[in-house]
Structure 1
Amino acid sequence: MRGNWQFLKAQARPTLQQLFADDAKARVAALTIEQAGIRFDLSKTHLDDTLIDGFVQQAGAMDLAGQRQKLLGGEVINPTEGRAAEHTAERGTGSPEAVELARQFHARMRALVEVIEAGAFGKIETLIHIGIGGSALGPKLLMDALGRNTGGIEVRVVSNVDGAAMAEAIKGIDPRTTLLAAASKTFTTAETLLNLESAMQWMRAGGVDDPHGRVIALTANPDKAVEWGVDETRILPFSESVGGRYSLWSSIGFPAALGLGWAGYEEMLEGAGAMDRHFAHADWRANAPVMAAFADLYYTQARSAQTRAVFAYDERLRLLPSYLQQLEMESNGKSVTAEGEAVDYPTSPITWGGVGTDGQHAVFQLLHQGTVLVPVEFIAAREPGHDLDDAHHEALLANCFAQGAALMAGKQTDDPARSYAGDRPSTTLLIDDVTPAILGALIAFYEHRTFVNAVLLGINPFDQFGVELGKDMARAIEEGGMDDFDASTKALMEAALGDPAQ
């Protein structure tokens, strides 16, 4: 590992109880950051002045400030592909050229949204958004979190190539009042195009004479979409330098712009932009993404934590853990440095989680009394997402805050089976409400946190070659090229599909 990490190997660290015993109020104040409608409480982590000083020195050694400038200035930050990573330009921070191009693409998307709302496609009740990975996870999260009870166009997202997913998406809707959005950066993604063909067959069977005229392409490769059969007036481009897992800010966010209305989508961009500015200008010790990354690195590097759990105590954010799985593990699940040298230290932990209070009755047993250390992140909202009795929200928040307190405090009894070790870390993100602006800021926070982790580890978070090998081998099987596969794989294929030679 590059840089000097000796500060992590010092004598035993104080427990959380000891850290709070010194001056609890001062600790909470020092390790709480409020920004863009979010309160970040890092006080229940083991960060102290010694650790923070060490991480600040490591940030200097790894030129975090310079790498941040490259990212936010639109310089090449993805060395293996020789590209910038310009998702922040979609929110107004980047090179002037990239910001202007994003503005033009957003204006084109807004115009199409307004054309649809004006009835150019007739009565539209449903949009089926077809994509996979970042082309689906972002829109799905946005619509699930923000699209409830809007009364507008219903958005259904299909990603899985399993036909059952498409069958579920088309159930109970009229193809004559439906539009299709095909989201693929290259417009060559096999799963997406197969699902798109199936959706068009459903449309033909339902009396739509020209299904191609119902397809809107969201892509960084417009020529390929035209070649496929989409008219250029229904193509919403985005920049090649916007990565898939960072693309919801681009035309990939079209379903949210249509389903929530342009004003809501613009608020989301503005919220993310506010977090961009915070990340760009705040001192490291007052910088939410940076401080969160410091805590992440302490647990992976010094305490051998192989996983990180995220629990949203808000039903509207139930898909956030799934979204973060791709963002964090596809970005930082690497075994070589940015220079291509093998690493000999942990990189990304496994991100997992769920919703509270469900998780308390499923996996929290391990968190409290298991033999592995799992840093936990709690996310809750001050305002409820419903009009039911306040007792629901009060119970939800009480459970959320109590879990963090219990993980830290533990409880010792004469009965070992009923004892809790305590000293188990957690962070809490308390948001004002689940609004477009705050959700935008929250997602941008996680993007920058992932970036800081990568910089301090010396890895490249913007490539993802690890997803390609399995896809290549699947393509070989589909084309009948099984000769090079192992005996187990051949036997499985024959058991499932029969002998391809017959």
Structure 2
Amino acid sequence: MADNVAAIWDKLKSHDDASLTELFADTDRVSKLSDRIEWGEGELTSGILFDWSKTHLDDGLIAGFEELADAADFAGKRAALFGGEKINSTEGRAAQHTAQRGVGTEAAVEEAMALHARMRMLVEAIHDGALGEVKHLIHIGIGGSALGPALAVDALTRDLALVDVHVVSNIDGVALEQAFAACDPKTTMLAVASKTFTTIETMTNAQSALKWLADGGISDPSGRVVALTASPEKAVEWGVDETRILPFSETVGGRYSLWSSIGFPVAMAVGWDEFEQFLAGAQAVDLHFEKANGRANLPLRAAFADQFYSRIKGCQTRAVFAYDERLGLFPDYLQQLEMESNGKSVTAQGKPVDGPTAPITWGGVGTDAQHAVFQLLHQGTRLVPVDFIASIAPGDDLDPAHHRILLTNCFAQGAALMAGKANKDGARNFEGNRPSATMLCDDLDAATLGALIAFHEHRTFANAVLMGINPFDQFGVELGKEMAKSIEAGGQEFDSSTEQLLTAAGLS
């Protein structure tokens, strides 16, 4: 099998490239490489258009990548993912985040629905005043338990929030103090999100938040805490009442956990009905990814382009630009999803990989980014594939000129990257032939956000299969944390540079 995969890669690398403008000589190109994923019915149907026509994918490349997907057993690994098998081989676990959206094994889906029902009861009880007046929620987590909620709350509550949510992840006390300054302890609850309920940054921040509540006159600070964890017994030991512990399964990884009880702050902010729409949008993508094959599978097709640019063209980065202020945190979210999942140097079998794995994901918000980094994208020496994300419906009630200018800038950037503009003056010459893809949403609501996130989860998985790696472990985040604990414990010697820094900071 390995020899077969290597031979397919060799064939892909020998493919004759045409320029993007040459590829558009095919009058059917846009229809071949643009498709929608939709949800809802009748007048309530909505969706996202995924346009990959401005990439260098052509029929020959796609056929080659379809052959690679077959050789890598993409269909079998996809079935294992949805079938609850231990697809996370290094940790001996399944990866059952899709069950949180209703797609997976019957047992996993039933468990997820039961835990959702428990969460819904608590969310609605709080909204109904059962725990007193609650105006603020400070959500404390880190990594996947913070990035997801922060993205969703920021994207979905620009107009109105049922509860004012502040997400705190950094151990830097400035972050926690900023949340304290915006909240009244008498009307504030805490959500402590940790899979193990031992994460040092999270638990340290949580202890400081309890002290803030006590200093603010709250007689029973622990009674204001909701625990979101896969280790409920640890939360009980820490002092959280069982009625305010919202568990999630060990088979739901941190950066895939937004759909589980880690989504509690999202449901608190937008209400349960909106949270269910968030899940429904993700489910629509799950069903597409589970059933569509080959080039018709949109996350897999995106992975074909990703692998072409990363492995064949040697692109070291991929840029994501959201032409929507509400998606300002989306590039940050994707950084963890993609780089923690696929930033690996060994295969799922523990052997060295034979090519580059995940590129560096980065990006920003249009049109701000146009006046900062687009110079490099258009005229720099490095080829950077670009993803654009935009919404047809505006997120504001101002003069429609605002949104019209926003969208025309988004579409113009993709067209300019592709076409370029020749000029004898080198400083004014644009080579063109620079790739981009566009995800155009009908609207940016809860279902659309769920669909966008799920699309990128499956795109990440598809890339991992094509590279032969395991996207569900993250041992690379542990070493530095272990060494930090060693510094706290004392007694360990480090290199002379580190020892100097410790001494200068008064830590040794």
Give the TM interval when normalised to the shorter protein: over 0.9
Q: Is the 8 A contact 2:161 2:270 kept in 1?
A: no
Q: Which consecutive unaligned segments of at least 5 residues does structure 2 have?
A: 39-46
Q: SS of the residue aligned with 1:248?
A: coil
Which structure 2 residues correspond to residues 311-326 of structure 1 after superposition, within 5 A? 311-326=321-336
Which structure 2 residues correspond to residues 233-312 of structure 1 after superposition, within 5 A? 233-312=243-322
How far apart are the structure 2 equivalents of 1:7 and 1:411?
A: 32
How far apart are the structure 1 equivalents of 2:157 and 2:485?
A: 36
State the match for 1:379 in structure 2: 389
State the match for 2:226 in structure 1: 216
How far 1:259 moved relative to its partner? 0.8
Q: SS of the residue aligned with 2:167?
A: strand
Q: Which amino acid aligns with 2:32?
A: A
Q: SS of the residue aligned with 1:5?
A: helix
Q: Does 1:404 align with 2:414?
A: yes
How far 1:151 moved relative to its partner? 4.1
Q: Does 1:491 align with 2:500?
A: yes
How far apart are the structure 2 equivalents of 1:260 and 1:120?
A: 18
Q: Which consecutive unaligned segments of at least 5 residues does structure 1 have?
A: none
Q: SS of the residue aligned with 2:389?
A: strand
Q: Is the 8 A contact 1:88 1:94 kept in 2?
A: yes
Q: Does 1:30 align with 2:32?
A: yes
Q: Is the 8 A contact 2:307 2:463 kept in 1?
A: yes
- Match of residue 228, structure 1, among 221, 238, 257: 238
State the match for 2:41 in structure 1: none
State the match for 2:19 in structure 1: 15
What are the Cα deviations for residues 438-472 of structure 1, in whole angstroms up to 9, with x where unaligned? 11111000000000000010000000000000000
State the match for 2:112 in structure 1: 102
What are the Cα deviations for residues 296-328 of structure 1, in whole angstroms up to 9, with x where unaligned? 000011100000000000000010000000000
How far 1:482 moved relative to its partner? 3.6
How far 1:147 moved relative to its partner? 1.3
Q: SS of the residue aligned with 1:497?
A: coil
State the match for 2:377 in structure 1: 367
How far 1:11 moved relative to its partner? 4.8
What are the Cα deviations for residues 357-397 of structure 1, in whole angstroms up to 9, with x where unaligned? 00000000000011111000000000010000000000000
State the match for 2:148 in structure 1: 138
Q: Which amino acid aligns with 1:8?
A: L
Q: Is the 8 A contact 1:73 1:94 kept in 2?
A: yes
Q: Is the 8 A contact 2:285 2:455 kept in 1?
A: yes
How far apart are the structure 1 equivalents of 2:260 and 2:214?
A: 30
Q: What TM-score results when the alignment is normalised by the length of structure 2?
A: 0.97
What are the Cα deviations for residues 460-495 of structure 1, in whole angstroms up to 9, with x where unaligned? 000000000000001111122342x10000100111
State the match for 2:361 in structure 1: 351
Which structure 2 residues correspond to residues 142-161 of structure 1 after superposition, within 5 A? 142-161=152-171
What are the Cα deviations for residues 161-193 of structure 1, in whole angstroms up to 9, with x where unaligned? 000000001113210100000000000000000
Q: What TM-score results when the alignment is normalised by the length of structure 1?
A: 0.98
How far apart are the structure 1 equivalents of 2:158 and 2:189?
A: 19
Deviates more, 1:1-10 or 1:377-386: 1-10
What are the Cα deviations for residues 25-56 of structure 1, in whole angstroms up to 9, with x where unaligned? x1000000111210000000000000000000
Q: Which amino acid aligns with 1:14?
A: A
- Match of residue 192, structure 2, among 158, 182, 186: 182
- Match of residue 83, structure 1, among 93, 98, 103: 93
State the match for 1:61 in structure 2: 71
Q: What is the total number of aligned residue pairs between the two structures?
A: 496
How far 1:283 moved relative to its partner? 2.6
How far 1:117 moved relative to its partner? 1.3
How far apart are the structure 1 equivalents of 2:62 and 2:419?
A: 23
Q: SS of the residue aligned with 2:257?
A: helix
- Match of residue 405, structure 2, among 378, 392, 395: 395
- Match of residue 444, structure 1, among 440, 449, 454: 454
Q: Is the 8 A contact 2:100 2:259 kept in 1?
A: yes
State the match for 2:482 in structure 1: 472
Q: Is the 8 A contact 1:33 1:287 kept in 2?
A: no
Q: Is the 8 A contact 1:376 1:426 kept in 2?
A: yes
How far 1:16 moved relative to its partner? 0.4
Q: SS of the residue aligned with 1:380?
A: strand
How far apart are the structure 2 equivalents of 1:381 and 1:11?
A: 35
How far apart are the structure 2 equivalents of 1:271 and 1:34?
A: 13
How far apart are the structure 2 equivalents of 1:246 and 1:369?
A: 36
How far 1:343 moved relative to its partner? 1.1
Q: Is the 8 A contact 1:309 1:376 kept in 2?
A: yes
How far 1:150 moved relative to its partner? 1.7
What are the Cα deviations for residues 267-314 of structure 1, in whole angstroms up to 9, with x where unaligned? 111110110000011132121101000000000111000000000000
How far apart are the structure 2 equivalents of 1:384 and 1:175?
A: 36
Q: Is the 8 A contact 1:7 1:51 kept in 2?
A: no
For the aligned residue pairs, the C-alpha RMSD in angstroms reads 0.9
Q: Is the 8 A contact 2:33 2:51 kept in 1?
A: yes
Which structure 2 residues correspond to residues 191-202 of structure 1 after superposition, within 5 A? 191-202=201-212
How far apart are the structure 1 equivalents of 2:16 and 2:107?
A: 51
Q: Is the 8 A contact 1:378 1:429 kept in 2?
A: yes
How far apart are the structure 1 equivalents of 2:406 and 2:163?
A: 31
How far apart are the structure 2 equivalents of 1:184 and 1:75?
A: 24
Q: Is the 8 A contact 2:310 2:359 kept in 1?
A: yes
How far apart are the structure 2 equivalents of 1:114 and 1:17?
A: 55
Q: Which amino acid aligns with 2:151?
A: L
Q: Which amino acid aligns with 2:10?
A: Q
How far 1:252 moved relative to its partner? 0.1
Instruction: Quote the sequence identity (%).
Output: 64
TM superposition outliers: structure 1 runs of 4+ over 3 Å: none
